[in-house]
Amino acid sequence: MTRPANDFNAKIIEEFRSNAGHVGGQFADATVLLLHHTGAKSGTERVSPLVYQPVGQSFAIFASMGGAPVNPAWYHNVVAHPDVTIEVGTQTIQVRAHVAGPGEREDIWERQKRARPNFAEYEVKATPREIPVIILEPVS
pLDDT digits (tens, 9 = 90+) for 85-128: 999 999 999 999 999 999 999 999 999 999 999 999 999 999 99
- Residue percentage of the chain with pLDDT more than 90: 89
Q: Do 108 and 53 touch, CB atoms closer than 8 A?
A: yes
Pairing of strands 133-138, 83-88: unpaired
What rounded mean pLDDT belongs to the chain?
Answer: 94
Domain ranges within the chain, ordered by starting residue = 5-138
Instruction: Please tell me the predicted confidence (pLDDT) of residue 116.
Output: 94
Q: Do 122 and 66 touch, CB atoms closer than 8 A?
A: yes
Strand partners, 93: 86
Instruction: Please tell me the predicted confidence (pLDDT) of residue 2.
Output: 39
Is pLDDT of 5 > 90? no
Is pLDDT of 80 > 70? yes
Domain 5-138 part of CATH 3.90.1150.10: no
- pLDDT band for 29, please (50, 70, 90 cuts): confident
**Alpha carbon distance 16, 11 (integer Å):** 9
Radius of gyration of the chain (CA): 14
Q: Do 31 and 53 touch, CB atoms closer than 8 A?
A: yes
- Residue percentage of the chain with pLDDT more than 70: 96
Q: What is the mean pLDDT of residues 73-95?
A: 97
Instruction: Please tell me the predicted confidence (pLDDT) of residue 109.
Output: 98
**Alpha carbon distance 35, 46 (integer Å):** 8
Prediction pTM value: 0.92
Q: What is the mean pLDDT of residues 28-35?
A: 94
